Structure 1
Amino acid sequence: MGKKVVIALTVQASSLYAMSNPSQEDIDNACSLSDDNSGRSSNGTLKDFLSNVYLNQDVRWNGVTNDNGYSVAIDSIFNEPESRDLNFFDVTTINGTGGRSGNATAKVKNDSNLVHKLDKYTINFSVYADGNSSKSFHIDPKLAANP
């Protein structure tokens, strides 16, 4: 019934990389999220961006930028351990594939207790400039489980 969902983190890489000590608001303003399953934020903020995912199906996170000479890598996906929050995945940290344009993929657990629940999580990502120099950042969106 469900399908694999791809979540894209698009980053204004050159402007974010140039900031010497960006606040979380600066980071959020330099980023946007989208997915191939009508994901959206009810109020326009990244922390309220909600992707609908499906039991026993993969979720893939990709980093994207339109800035020449820069790339965005998904370093890891971390489940935030809130007491009311169920982890949708078998591991707390989903490691990225590594490199300048790494991504992360994990399968949602096949657990009917997750249906209609929300999972707050952290996307840890790096912006790479020319060469191999990089800076690391994070954002905190949400997932919603569907059968």
Structure 2
Amino acid sequence: MAKPVVITLTVQTANLYGIDTPSQTEVDSCCRLSDDNSGSSPNGTLEDFQSNVFINNNVKWLGASADPGYSVAIDSIVYESKSNDVNFFDNATISGSGGRSGNASANVKNDPNLVNQLDIYTVNFSVYSSGTSYKAFSIDPKLAINP
């Protein structure tokens, strides 16, 4: 059954914020993705986490903090042109709604040719601590169209 999908990025914000110049491995180890449509990673890595989404339906990305006193904002979702993947959305960059707890949202194109395709993308997000202090990070998961 086709439906909108919500993807949640939960960050161990205190750990990640405390690392001066984290490697991508350190960023990934502080992040966990989940969605409301049985998304998973076959090997447990963020890079292989795959959310199944639906043609002509909305996808929303939310940021969540695992620690009090911090918040996570989704700054943008950016399509990565890699090997044979395709962009599921009309724009290559989906801007976040802004602010300390912003999220991003877009509708998948109404294109039957997208079935069984993969979309590799970057989630750019910021971790906010007290006041206006924040640090920016990114991760690279995947989307697939449900048949």
Q: TM-score range by the shorter chain?
A: over 0.9
Query: TM-score, length-normalised on structure 1?
Result: 0.98
**Number of equivalences:** 147
| Equivalent-residue separation in structure 2 for 1:85 and 1:36 (angstroms) | 23
Query: TM-score, length-normalised on structure 2?
Result: 0.98
2:138 maps to what in 1? 138
| Equivalent-residue separation in structure 2 for 1:141 and 1:8 (angstroms) | 12
Q: Shift of residue 81 of structure 1?
A: 1.6
Task: Summarize the alignment of residues 61-140 of structure 1 with structure 2, pairs less than 5 Å apart.
Answer: 61-140=61-140
Partner secondary structure for residue 41 of structure 1: coil
**62-71 or 32-41, which moves further after superposition?**
62-71
Partner secondary structure for residue 34 of structure 1: strand
Cα RMSD for the two superposed structures: 0.8
1:37-96 per-residue CA deviation (whole Å, 9 max, x = no partner) reads 000000000000000000000000000012111000000000002251110000000000
2:13 maps to what in 1? 13
Partner secondary structure for residue 27 of structure 2: helix
Unaligned runs of 5+ in 2: none
Partner secondary structure for residue 131 of structure 1: coil
2:46 maps to what in 1? 46
AA at the equivalent of 1:18: G
Unaligned runs of 5+ in 1: none
1:74-128 per-residue CA deviation (whole Å, 9 max, x = no partner) reads 0000000225111000000000000000000000001011001111000000000
Partner secondary structure for residue 136 of structure 1: strand
| Equivalent-residue separation in structure 2 for 1:83 and 1:45 (angstroms) | 20
